[in-house]
Structure 1
Amino acid sequence: MSQDLSTATFSGYRRENGRVGVRNHVIILPVDDLANAACEAVANNIPGTMALPHPYGRLQFGEDLELHFRTLIGTGCNPNVAAVVVIGIENGWTQKIVDGIAATGKPVTGFGIEQHGDHETIMKASKVAKEYLQWASELKREEAPVSELWVSTKCGESDTTSGCGANPTVGNAFDKLYPHKATLLFGETSEITGGEHLVAERCRTDEVRERFMFMFDRYQDLIDRFKTSDLSDSQPTKGNIEGGLTTIEEKALGNIQKIGKECLVDGVLDKAE
């Protein structure tokens, strides 16, 4: 990326729907946990592809199931993904995921194990994955303006230095990118507890603030209904405590540093939205 951000560009892959990614993955995406082994077998057969196993996709219903679908479709639609092979235990849900990803225009093919069996599914999916990988390897990067860059931040293993060093450094980058219309994402619902009012003050409009507080309060209500005592067993984490943090409020003040000093909260997204 060039230093003058007013004319800065980055090198990426422009996808069929116009969005730009900085990676070029061919992913093997299981619809459910029963398809994990087949997906991993395909990725093992075709080095350079990436399987994304997970423990979900069965005995789910209602909003939980819809969240599952949105998550898988969103993963396939990500501009860092060039093409997708979807494998599920049956055709119905598999096709739903395929159709959702296909809306972006990118290459995607689905296979149902019940219709073909494990071995034939792996064989056929491997053939398609190989073709997709060859195709993706021939794609060329192009320069794109910073306004088309999406940056998402997520911390890990916070300690006493995070709020003083690493997180403010990320926030400084956000402050430099924000005036140039880059899309900057911050997802820390559980880890801003005690500092949520500081984020609310940064919301651009009353409507955005109301939606932010709705999302945060919804999380808090869930905790209140199901907690055994408090958040002490999960927030701060054991690793946070070993690193010197003592309370979730202390952790929150460090986490919030990642959104910089100048950025406003322009919108709020739900899970997998």
Structure 2
Amino acid sequence: MKLTGYIRENGSVGIRNHILVIPASVCASEVAARIASHVEGAIAIPNQHGCCQIGADLAQTANTLIGLGKNPNIAAALVIGLGCEGVPARDVAKEIGKTGKKVECLIIQENGGTLKTEAEGVKILKGFAQDIAKMHREEIDISDITLAIECGGSDTTSGLASNPAAGYASDKIVELGGTSIFSETTEFIGAEHLLAKRAVTKEIGDKILKIVSDCEKKAMTMGVDMRGGQPTPGNIQGGISTIEEKSLGCIYKGGTAEIKGVLDYGEIPSGKGLYIMDTPGQDIESITGMTAGGAQIVIFTTGRGTPTGSPIAPVIKITGNPETYKTMYDNIDINAGRIVTGEKSIKDIGEEIFAEILEVINGKLTKAESLKHREFGIYKLISTF
């Protein structure tokens, strides 16, 4: 199948053509949302953070916002700052601008408040929209694609059906020269040694073991064992009894390819192939990290069902539970439950997922997109001060 996308100024490839309005802090989020509401194709992210953060936590928020603006699915960006927040709005805009795409910045305090900033922002976005309307899709290659893989609301069918099928599709993209990222460090616990064996170097393998160890230690600083929250109540109701059992099912979504590296939250891969990103198990924060790392498309397996989408990347929903497919048909794109019922093999559904990825790259809307599911959250390292 011929693939098409939008080739950006820096050579990266987008499969969507969004205008992104980025509030540098929660204090600018409402104004950002009002501006985006006036212009077709514009999306504002509801950033809850950006103020009263310190050190690495503040840097992570800023870097995530920059990464989202750099994502190839973004054609142009407008950064909105209040003027006194911790995240420097102008610096965020400047970093995004290094991609060559159109970027502007407005500061609410300097523009005279909500109404004046809103009016100026709408004027800027209308200009962006007119320029973007002139862009056309061009032929691209699957090697231009970075796939993000997520699982959430897991049950026993996730590890048996949907995750292995997603892993098959991931392996195929990697074999064809593309890039794939899977994450959720909390859901490696008990299976981290198996992932470490797949690392291309001992150093990378050791880093996999370290991020899992650090994750458990962080929970212990609060006087709790990670196993108190994992598996979740929903996982347990779905038949998953231990965190090790959950992890062994979870890692199937990463396929069988060699692991080329371990990425920090929101970090862009340095090359092609399969990568792990160090993220929480919280689905929305995890997806945000991978899209900030450049992923243009997401496949999301779910046993019990979830409507989660993304503001900037299409999310393909896959379930291994045939009952969930029936009850949440409006949200689920692919029924991997046919593996459980014996109608299809893992390879069959893996090929179906891969074919769906190609269709979505070419512009087919996922169900999450059609329903305008744009869930968003940034992972915080420490509490707000």
Category of TM-score, reference length = shorter chain = over 0.9
| Structure 1 segment 50-199 matched on structure 2, within 5 A | 50-90=43-83, 93-116=88-111, 117-199=113-195
Q: Residue 263 of structure 2 corresponds to which residue in structure 1?
A: 269
| Alpha-carbon contact 2:216-2:226 (below 8 Å) kept | no
Paired amino acid for 1:175:
D
Any idea what SS the aligned residue of 2:263 has? coil
What is the rounded CA distance, in whole Å, between the counterparts of 2:210 and 2:244 in structure 1? 20
TM-superposed CA distance for 1:216, in Å, is: 2.3
Q: What is aligned with 1:243?
A: 238
Runs of 5+ in structure 1 lacking a partner?
3-8
Quick one: which amino acid aligns to residue 141 of structure 1? Answer: R
The structural deviation recorded for 1:233 is 4.2
Cα offsets for 1:87-106 (capped at 9, x unmatched): 01118811011011011111
- Map Cα deviations across residues 18-38 of structure 1 (whole Å, 9 max, x no partner): 111111111111000000110
Aligned to 1:217: 213
Note if contact 2:19-2:75 (Cα within 8 Å) is conserved in structure 1. Answer: yes
- 3-state SS of 2:169 partner: helix
**Is this contact kept in 1: 2:165–2:253, CA < 8 A?**
yes
8 Å contact kept, 1:192–1:256: yes
Contact 2:17 2:74 in 1 (8 A): yes
Q: Secondary structure at the match of 1:133?
A: helix
CA offset at residue 232 of structure 1?
A: 4.1
For residues 171 and 95 of structure 1, the distance between their equivalents in structure 2, rounded to whole angstroms, comes to 40
Q: Which moved more, 1:128-137 or 1:25-34?
A: 128-137
Partner of 1:6: none
Contact 2:23–2:79 under 8 Å retained in 1:
yes
Alpha-carbon distance in 2 for matches of 1:133, 1:193? 46
**Distance in 2 separating the partners of 1:41 and 1:198:** 48
What residue ranges of structure 2 are gaps of 5+ in the alignment? 268-385
Q: Are 1:43 and 1:51, in contact at CA under 8 Å, matched by a contact in 2?
A: yes
1:162 is paired with a residue of what secondary structure?
helix
Query: How many residues get paired?
Result: 264
| Structure 1 length-normalised TM | 0.92
Contact in 2 for aligned 1:32/1:54 (Cα 8 Å): yes
TM-score by length of 2: 0.66
Identity %: 38
DSSP-derived class of the 1:267 partner: strand
Query: Aligned partners of 2:68, 2:231: CA distance in 1, in Å?
Result: 29
What is the one-letter code of the residue matched to 1:113?
Answer: I
Equivalent-residue separation in structure 2 for 1:60 and 1:121 (angstroms): 25
2 CA distance for matches of 1:240 and 1:143?
Answer: 42
What is the rounded CA distance, in whole Å, between the counterparts of 2:15 and 2:229 in structure 1?
Answer: 33
- Contact 1:215 1:270 survives alignment (8 Å): no
